[in-house]
Amino acid sequence: GELRASDRARERAARLLRSAYKNGRLELDELEERSAHIEAARTRAELRSVLRDLPEYRRWRRRMRRRRLWLWLLPRRLRRRFL
């Protein structure tokens, strides 16, 4: 099954939407519509579907991939602090 969306994931998604709105990529009505979808999302896949077309989301995903790559170079006991 698909992983359930946590409150933290929903908050992160809402921040990305607000950033897209501030940058002029979303209109107010689209922001409200997508925000409602985020609140109703039960899985991470549903959150991704709301954010997938936004450059802010793609940049965030790249940063997280790089961060995970570097974390594997750390000893296991230190990795836990960053996850």
d(CA 42, CA 64): 22
SS3 8: helix
The DSSP letter of residue 73 is: T
Alpha-carbon span 44 to 21, nearest angstrom:
21
Q: Quote the strand ranges of 1-83, DSSP E.
A: none
| 83 or 78: which leads in pLDDT | 78
At residue 23, the pLDDT reads: 93
What is the C-alpha to C-alpha distance for residues 38 and 43, in angstroms, rounded to an integer? 10
Decide: 1 and 45 in contact? Cβ < 8 Å.
no
| Percent of all residues in the chain with a pLDDT value above 70, rounded to a whole number | 83
The per-residue pLDDT for 80 is 64
- In tens, the pLDDT along 45-79 reads 999 999 999 988 888 888 877 777 766 677 776 66
